[in-house]
């Protein structure tokens, strides 16, 4: 079930600000399990799983983002080539000749790139702002898209060896799959308080959705799931000077980003739960890359936030690699952390 | 006169951004007898109310200091780290860091000793725990630079004057206002996570929804060789913020602060800062807008272990703050 959901979630299109398709899919997957399922003005989908009420007034938010990086059509040329703008951080080294879906009609396209023997010397990786998309049209009339339409990357989802799967958009969708898995786990064993689920919009362009969702939900604590770059690649001379996040190493409990310190009580809580429940985990102390959890902490009069990273190799490419055991262990960790969380955990 | 023992206690306390618990407990001990009500909000801010009714004024000073997080411990036991806040690579080699559990490490630089080497990135540095010390440290643990305070005439030299000296100004003002019916509802807020993005003050401002904000923070004293012209000088009084990169002080607020300083004969100088900002930047932009001032304590060598202030400036800042809020504020 988890695997099937992950594949569907990965394959759905949902470039930041254009999350309609992925939101609809999550609505279907969540079905009637969450109460008050609502799409807010930012495009966040949220709903609540009622607890037994034994701890009244306590509200916890769990969030993962629905959106993915991609492009937006800025102009359709007379020759049928489509000019685009980047949506979210894109690494062009991964995207030369990438396959894409253009607009809601999903016209098939390819990122234009001259072949090396006819390139007139244009062999450098193109700047993201110079990208054009070729949909095979012989003129403007052959293009169904218009400016503002989103362009989504196509990732061929596949199962690989050693429990790994390949796909696009794992940065957000792995977390979405974990949250959907968590719903079933919590229905089987209800918590004493309400858990609010938020599938957030526009994370890749500055965590805009998460902040609004947190303001609406007004939780006493929040856990944010997201992808984190797995850098467990061969290193020259077995260099041992940098931190390594490994596929299969378990969920990555996050300490910080350059603009945010995760709540130390929730960091300690996650660590304790991982150790007592024998969930493998790693620690992610980040030197760069701003994570969405920081903006949740900004909501209203401040929300304690814990962040859990799901390790993904080649994360900003259409060919991310994810270890299914990390996904399962993320659900276990978050489930355990919620089950053990009480208002007293957050007392000063 | 500035309570130097208070300054020492605060600057020598341990509290990088997000890990302000010890500083908060320490400050709480000082302000407990002074405030009418004390609480800690969701962002970890220590909120101390004095008085009830009248204009609500948020006075913010941040508790956190810059520091580092251990990202990796190698097979030989050397730690690698990333910065919390604006850690300056040029200040690190040979400096000492202290962890919450008391473990002290020394910061070293990769490679052979080379007097001409100019480290540019934190990734070139490591922490030497020596003597098996790494066994007491885990990846994700947080450290701060460590150094005791020195007194030299009117000058005080220490780490973390940024912004514990602002906390001192707030506590001294609370002491001065104990028992005074100011006609204002004063919220002295000791804020969190300023150094990583002014996080605590944002939450406090939203939660309190005050009429006015006043930030207390250090500013760069520029009266040192080849520094700026027409700049803030150490010992020349409280620095009244006019402009920084995140905060243009509204004219009515500026006039209020300056006219108060003049009316009370408090030494002051005008501050225009082109690097950095304070809690006031986010307080001012919260909700429908909260007009805000900043009173700055001139400080040399900011973000080093030898941040230097002058007690006469600290006194002037306390006097100015008290003069601003000791009677009903109405603009």
For A206-228, the pLDDT digits (tens) are 888 999 999 999 999 999 999 99
Give the DSSP H or E segment for B200: helix B199-208
- Higher pLDDT residue, A173 or A207? A173
When CB atoms are compared, the residue of A262, A285, A302 closest to B82 is A285
> Which parts of chain B register pLDDT below 70?
229-230
Residue B226 CB partners (closer than 8 Å, separation 6+): none
Count CB-CB contacts under 10 A for residue B213: 30
Q: What is the pLDDT of residue A258?
A: 85
Q: What is the DSSP letter of B109?
A: E
Nearest Cα residue in chain A from B75: A240
The chain-wide mean pLDDT, for chain B, equals 95
Distances in Å between the Cα of A291 and the Cα atoms of A251, A296, B132 are: 15, 10, 34
Tell whether the model's pLDDT for residue A120 goes beyond 70: no
Q: What is the pLDDT of residue B294?
A: 97
Asked if B62 has any chain A CB less than 8 Å from its own CB, the reply is no
When CB atoms are compared, the residue of B139, B196, B207 closest to A260 is B196
The chain-wide mean pLDDT, for chain A, equals 93
Residues in chain A with CB shorter than 8 Å from the CB of B44 are 302, 348
User: Would you say A113 and A93 are in contact if contact means Cβ atoms under 8 Å apart?
Assistant: no
Nearest Cα residue in chain A from B74: A240
Which burial class, exposed, middle or buried, applies to A205 when counting CB atoms under 10 A from its CB (0-12, 13-18, 19+)?
middle
Q: What is the pLDDT of residue A116?
A: 61
A165-174, A279-288, B251-260: which range is least confident on average?
Answer: A279-288
Q: In whole angstroms, what is the distance from residue A219 CA to residue A134 CA?
A: 46
When CB atoms are compared, the residue of B18, B21, B45 closest to A261 is B18
Reading the block at residue B98, the tokens are 């202290």
Give the DSSP H or E segment for B197: none
- End-to-end CA gap in chain B: 30
Reading the block at residue A293, the tokens are 């959890």
Q: In whole angstroms, what is the distance from residue A225 CA to residue A291 CA?
A: 10
Give the DSSP H or E segment for B206: helix B199-208
CA distance A332 to chain B (A): 21
B313 three-class SS: helix
- The half-sphere exposure of B6 on its side-chain side, counting CA atoms within 13 A, is 20
Residues in chain A with CB shorter than 8 Å from the CB of B203 are 297-298, 300-302
β-pairing verdict for A150-153 and A99-102: antiparallel
Question: Per 3-state DSSP, what percentage of chain B is helix, strand, and coil (rounded to 5)?
Answer: 25, 30, 45
User: Would you say B223 and B231 are in contact if contact means Cβ atoms under 8 Å apart?
Assistant: yes
- pTM of the full structure: 0.94
Q: What is the pLDDT of residue A122?
A: 65
The residue among A285, A306, A347 with the most chain B CBs within 10 A of its CB, best to mutate, is A285
Count CB-CB contacts under 10 A for residue A227: 24
User: Would you say B42 and B203 are in contact if contact means Cβ atoms under 8 Å apart?
Assistant: yes
Count CB-CB contacts under 10 A for residue B46: 26
Beta bridge partners of A196: A48, A61
Could you identify the residue written with the tokens 């990732």? A155
- End-to-end CA gap in chain A: 40
A83-97, A124-138, A301-315: which range is least confident on average?
Answer: A124-138
Asked if B278 has any chain A CB less than 8 Å from its own CB, the reply is no
Q: In whole angstroms, what is the distance from residue A56 CA to residue A79 CA?
A: 63
B311 three-class SS: helix
Count CB-CB contacts under 10 A for residue A106: 15
Reading the block at residue A32, the tokens are 């009637």
Q: Do B200 and A302 touch (CB under 8 A)?
A: yes
Q: What is the pLDDT of residue B192?
A: 97
Asked if B19 has any chain A CB less than 8 Å from its own CB, the reply is yes
Task: Please give the CATH topology (third level) of the domain spanning B68-145.
Answer: Elongation Factor Tu (Ef-tu); domain 3 (2.40.30)
To 10 degrees, the CA torsion angle through B194, B197, B200, B203? 150
**Torsion B249-B252-B256-B258 (CA) sign:** positive
Q: What is the pLDDT of residue A39?
A: 97
Among B65, B194, B195, B326, the active-site one is B194
Tell whether the model's pLDDT for residue A115 goes beyond 70: no
- Which value does ipTM take for this structure? 0.91
Reading the block at residue B8, the tokens are 């020492």
Residues in chain B with CB shorter than 8 Å from the CB of A263 are 18
Distances in Å between the Cα of A331 and the Cα atoms of A224, A282, A309 are: 12, 15, 12
When CB atoms are compared, the residue of A258, A262, A301 closest to B43 is A301
Beta bridge partners of B219: B298
User: Would you say B63 and B27 are in contact if contact means Cβ atoms under 8 Å apart?
Assistant: yes
Question: Can B307 be counted among the known catalytic residues?
Answer: no
For chain B, where do the domains classified as CATH 2.40.30.40 start and end? 68-145
User: Would you say B220 and B273 are in contact if contact means Cβ atoms under 8 Å apart?
Assistant: yes
Q: In whole angstroms, what is the distance from residue A253 CA to residue A274 CA?
A: 10
Listed ranges A113-127, A281-295, B25-39; the one with the highest mean pLDDT: B25-39
Could you identify the residue written with the tokens 């800042």? B317
3-state secondary structure chain A: CHHHHHHHHHHCCCECCCCHHHHHHHHHHHCCCCEEEEECCCCCEEEEECCCCCCCCCEEEEEEECCECEEEEEEECCCCCEEEEEECCCCHHHCCCCEEEECCCCEEEEECCCCHHHCCCCCCCCCHHHCEEECCCCCHHHCCCCCCCEEEECCCCEECCCCEEEECCHHHHHHHHHHHHHHHHHHHCCCCCEEEEEEECCCCCCCHHHHHHHHHHCCCEEEEEEEEECCCCCCHHHCCCCCCCCCCCCCEEEEEECCEECCHHHHHHHHHHHHHCCCCCEEEECCCCCCCHHHHHCCCCCCCEEEEEEEEECCCCCCEEEEHHHHHHHHHHHHHHHHHCCHHHHCC
User: Would you say A327 and A1 are in contact if contact means Cβ atoms under 8 Å apart?
Assistant: no
Tell whether the model's pLDDT for residue A8 goes beyond 90: yes
Asked if B176 has any chain A CB less than 8 Å from its own CB, the reply is no
Residues in chain B with CB shorter than 8 Å from the CB of A256 are 18, 69, 82, 84, 196
Query: Of B112, B121, B128, whose CA–CA distance to B90 is shortest?
Result: B121
User: Would you say B168 and B27 are in contact if contact means Cβ atoms under 8 Å apart?
Assistant: no
pLDDT digits (tens, 9 = 90+) for B64-93: 999 999 999 999 999 999 999 999 999 999
Q: Does domain B4-65+149-325 have CATH number 3.40.630.10?
A: yes
Q: Do B42 and A300 touch (CB under 8 A)?
A: yes
User: Would you say B297 and B309 are in contact if contact means Cβ atoms under 8 Å apart?
Assistant: yes
How large is the average pLDDT for residues A30-56?
A: 96
For chain B, where do the domains classified as CATH 3.40.630.10 start and end? 4-65+149-325
Domains of chain A plus CATH, in order, are 2-68+168-346 (3.40.630.10), 70-153 (2.40.30.40)
For chain A, which residues lie within 8 Å of any Cβ of chain B, measuring from their own Cβ? 220, 240-244, 253, 255-256, 258-264, 267, 283, 285-287, 294, 297-298, 300-304, 348
To 10 degrees, the CA torsion angle through A219, A221, A227, A233? 170
Query: Of B193, B315, B206, whose CA–CA distance to B265 is shortest?
Result: B315
Distances in Å between the Cα of A212 and the Cα atoms of A206, A284, B52 are: 12, 26, 32
Reading the block at residue B184, the tokens are 């204002």
To 10 degrees, the CA torsion angle through A137, A138, A140, A143? -10
Beta bridge partners of B294: B215
When CB atoms are compared, the residue of B42, B69, B200 closest to A303 is B42
């Amino acid at each position: 079930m988890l695997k099937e959901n992950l594949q569907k979630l990965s394959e759905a299109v949902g470039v930041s600000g254009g999350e309609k398709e992925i939101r609809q899919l999550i609505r279907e997957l969540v079905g009637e399990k969450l109460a008050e399922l609502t799409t807010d003005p930012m495009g966040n989908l949220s709903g609540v799983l009622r607890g037994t009420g034994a701890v009244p007034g306590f509200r916890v938010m769990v969030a993962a983002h629905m959106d993915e990086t991609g492009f937006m059509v800025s102009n359709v040329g007379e020759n049928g080539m489509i000019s685009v703008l980047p949506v979210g951080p894109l690494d062009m080294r991964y995207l030369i000749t990438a396959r894409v879906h253009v607009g809601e009609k999903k016209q098939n396209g390819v990122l234009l790139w001259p072949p090396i023997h006819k390139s007139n010397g244009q062999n450098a990786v193109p700047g993201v702002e110079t990208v054009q998309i070729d949909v095979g049209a012989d003129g403007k009339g052959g293009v169904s898209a218009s400016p503002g339409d989103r362009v989504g990357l196509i990732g061929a989802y596949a199962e690989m060896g050693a429990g790994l799967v390949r796909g696009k958009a794992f940065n957000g969708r792995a977390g979405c799959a974990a949250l959907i898995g968590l719903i079933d786990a919590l229905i089987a064993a209800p918590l004493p308080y309400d858990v609010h689920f938020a599938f957030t919009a526009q994370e890749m362009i500055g965590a805009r959705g998460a902040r609004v969702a947190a303001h609406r939900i007004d939780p006493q604590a929040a856990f944010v799931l997201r992808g984190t770059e797995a850098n467990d690649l061969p290193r020259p001379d077995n260099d041992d000077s940098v931190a390594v996040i490994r596929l299969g190493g378990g969920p990555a409990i996050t300490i910080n980003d350059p603009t945010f310190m995760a709540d130390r009580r929730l960091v300690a809580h996650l660590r304790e739960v991982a150790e007592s429940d024998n969930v493998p985990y790693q620690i992610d102390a980040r030197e760069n890359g701003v994570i969405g959890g920081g903006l949740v902490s900004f909501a209203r009069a401040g929300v304690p936030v814990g962040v859990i990273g799901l390790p993904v190799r080649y994360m900003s490419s259409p060919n991310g690699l994810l270890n299914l055991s990390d996904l399962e262990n993320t659900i276990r960790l978050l489930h355990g952390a919620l089950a053990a969380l009480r208002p007293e955990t957050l007392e000063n | 006169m500035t309570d130097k023992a208070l300054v020492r206690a605060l600057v020598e306390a341990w509290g990088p951004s997000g890990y302000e618990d010890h500083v908060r407990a320490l400050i709480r001990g000082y302000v407990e007898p002074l405030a009418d009500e004390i609480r800690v909000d969701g962002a970890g801010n220590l909120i101390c109310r004095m008085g009830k009714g009248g204009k609500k004024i948020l006075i913010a000073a941040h508790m956190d200091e810059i520091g580092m997080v251990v990202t990796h411990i190698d097979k030989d036991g050397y730690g690698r780290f990333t910065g919390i806040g604006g850690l300056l690579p040029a200040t690190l080699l040979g400096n000492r860091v202290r962890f919450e559990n008391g473990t002290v490490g020394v910061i070293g630089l990769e490679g052979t000793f080379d007097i001409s080497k100019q480290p540019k990135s934190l990734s070139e540095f490591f922490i030497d725990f020596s003597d098996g010390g790494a066994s007491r440290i885990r990846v994700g643990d947080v450290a701060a630079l460590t150094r005791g305070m020195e007194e030299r005439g009117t000058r005080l030299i220490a780490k973390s004057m940024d912004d514990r000296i602002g906390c001192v100004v707030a506590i001294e003002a609370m002491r001065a206002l104990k028992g005074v019916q100011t006609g204002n509802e004063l919220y002295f807020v000791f804020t969190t996570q300023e150094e990583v993005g002014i996080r605590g003050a944002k939450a406090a401002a939203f939660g309190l929804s005050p009429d006015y904000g006043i930030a207390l923070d250090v500013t760069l004293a520029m009266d040192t060789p080849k520094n700026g012209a027409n700049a803030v000088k150490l010992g020349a009084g409280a620095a009244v913020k006019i402009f920084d990169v995140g905060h243009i002080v509204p004219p009515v607020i500026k006039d209020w602060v300056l006219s108060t300083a003049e009316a009370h004969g408090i030494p002051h100088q005008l501050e225009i800062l082109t690097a950095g900002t304070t809690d006031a930047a986010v307080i001012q932009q919260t909700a429908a807008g909260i007009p805000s001032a900043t009173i700055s304590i001139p400080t040399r060598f900011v973000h080093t272990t030898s941040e230097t202030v002058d007690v006469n400036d600290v006194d002037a800042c306390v006097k100015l703050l008290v003069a601003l809020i000791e009677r009903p504020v109405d603009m």
